[in-house]
Amino acid sequence: MPEHEGLMGHGRVVVDPFATALNHEIITGLSSAKGLTAATFEGADFAIIQAQDQDVRWWPEGDDPTAAEGIILAAGQSINYYGSLADIRFFEVTASAKLAVAYFTV
């Protein structure tokens, strides 16, 4: 798969060569657990999700993470997420965390 510059210029991510960009969003207000925006990811097959500025924790199955529990996504790091976009949940580790999310179809 080809490598492309990461979201917002941080790092590098690998994108499926057959993927087509569908939509994107910035998610803030992560001081309480939050998911992705359904109207924004409608029709998407996967997402590239990047923590910006601060670390974020997440769970894929719909449970709410906390500042102390969940899979850590370090600031500046990205994941290619192919699971249920409706179920993934996020919580900030440090105040003012935000996510940059790009949605794709294959």
Helix (H) or strand (E) run with residue 59 in it: strand 56-59
pLDDT of amino acid 17: 80
Task: Name the DSSP letter for residue 7.
Answer: G
pLDDT of amino acid 3: 41
**CA-based end-to-end distance of the chain:** 13
- Cα–Cα distance list, 41 to 1, 58, 80 (Å): 23, 18, 14
Give strand pairing partners of 82.
none
Please tell us whether the domain made up of 3-105 is placed in CATH 2.60.40.10: no
Residues whose CB is less than 8 angstroms from the CB of residue 60 and which lie 6 or more positions away in sequence, other chains included: 71, 81, 83, 84, 87, 88
pTM: 0.85
pLDDT of amino acid 4: 42
Q: Where are the domains of the chain?
A: 3-105
- pLDDT by residue for the chain (106 residues), tens only, comes to 334 444 444 445 567 788 899 999 999 999 999 999 999 999 999 999 999 999 999 999 999 999 999 999 999 999 999 999 999 999 999 999 999 999 999 9
